[in-house]
Amino acid sequence: MLKYLIRRIISAIPVLLGVSVIVFLMIHLIPGDPVQHILGEFASPERVTELRNQLGLNDPLPIQYFKFLGKAIKGDLGRSLISNAPVVDEITRAFPVTIQLAIYSIIVSSVIGLVAGIIAAVRHNTFWDQLAMIGALFGISTPSFWLALIFMMVFAYNLGWFPISGYSGLASLVLPTAVLAALSAGSIARITRSSMLEVLGQDYIRTARAKGLDEETVVMKHSLKNAMIPVVTLVGLQFGALLAGAIITETVFALPGIGRLAVQAITTRDFPMIQGVTLFVATLFVLTNLIVDLMYGIIDPRIRLQ
């Protein structure tokens, strides 16, 4: 296990380097000048040149990249061009909101998706199966911004149960969690149903039923555990995406999370912030995938990590 962990950590280094290179090139190729955004449209060319020299934006791209990389290795992601605050501090302030939103959303969506998927598989080709799959289709195909606006109008504006926007505690996360959970639960329900149907058709399930085991034992002990591998994979990917910041949802609800921080950085052409957030998000994805791989061996002892 230890050797596997070391290999995975080493293999993650080229991935993170590749991400940093691609993002660095992309943000320097897109139109827009952060200096012009800072100084305003009518700033003199001399002032623009002076500030670009101060920020190091006139250096050749390779030099700019290796300066960023050298600092990143030491844990320094630079300073925001807009606020002049350390990028690490900005991410540290934004991440608690995102991690709470991600955990609550993935728990709610996993519970709903698993229950709906199991019911749909056990009651295959019945009314309950069709109802669960229609609900899953609705969740998958519904635009997040539309569902967020509907929830805001009904539960926040009309009923006044929750804050409309901003972050003022756990109550502010109820509606965003409901939006993200509704979108994720559909995918989890569909993959659970598909995996369960495949397992329920196996010979050992028929043998378990022939031995006289009750249906609950067959479904929960023998079927569900063996059907969890693709479900865990999907849940891990969705959790990684939520940790990256649910950009649309955080923007609509004005939550000060990673997603909204990334949008603001892109809008203002804040190069250090974009690079820092992207590298941080890529690291989260790598760690999430590693945890998912380790869970495979726990769920199914036949899988050995060599």
- Global pTM value: 0.76
In this structure, is residue 184 part of a structural domain?
Answer: yes
In this structure, is residue 70 part of a structural domain?
Answer: no
In this structure, is residue 282 part of a structural domain?
Answer: yes
CATH number of the domain residue 225 falls in? 1.10.3720.10
Domain count, the chain: 1
Between 48 and 85, the higher pLDDT residue = 85
Amino acid symbol at 61: L
Quote the pLDDT of residue 241.
Answer: 76
Distance, in Å, from the CA atom of 101 to the CA atom of 78, rounded to the nearest integer, reads: 27
In this structure, is residue 76 part of a structural domain?
Answer: no
In this structure, is residue 172 part of a structural domain?
Answer: yes
In this structure, is residue 294 part of a structural domain?
Answer: yes
Domain hosting 164: range is 87-299
Inter-residue contact 192 to 118 (CB < 8 Å): yes
The separation between the first and the last C-alpha atoms of the chain, rounded to the nearest angstrom, is 7
Distance, in Å, from the CA atom of 65 to the CA atom of 24, rounded to the nearest integer, reads: 7
Distance, in Å, from the CA atom of 279 to the CA atom of 20, rounded to the nearest integer, reads: 6
Beta bridge partners of 86: 79
Quote the pLDDT of residue 34.
Answer: 67
Summary mean pLDDT of the chain: 78
Angle, to 10 degrees, between the axis of helix 174-200 and the axis of helix 127-141? 130
- H or E stretch including 149? helix 144-151
Inter-residue contact 223 to 205 (CB < 8 Å): yes
> What tens digit of pLDDT does each residue of 68-81 get?
777 777 777 777 87
> What tens digit of pLDDT does each residue of 21-35 get?
887 777 777 666 666
Distance, in Å, from the CA atom of 81 to the CA atom of 269, rounded to the nearest integer, reads: 9
In this structure, is residue 62 part of a structural domain?
Answer: no
CA within 13 Å, CB half, 47 = 10
* 3-class secondary-structure state, position 302: coil
In this structure, is residue 275 part of a structural domain?
Answer: yes
Mean pLDDT of 196-214: 73
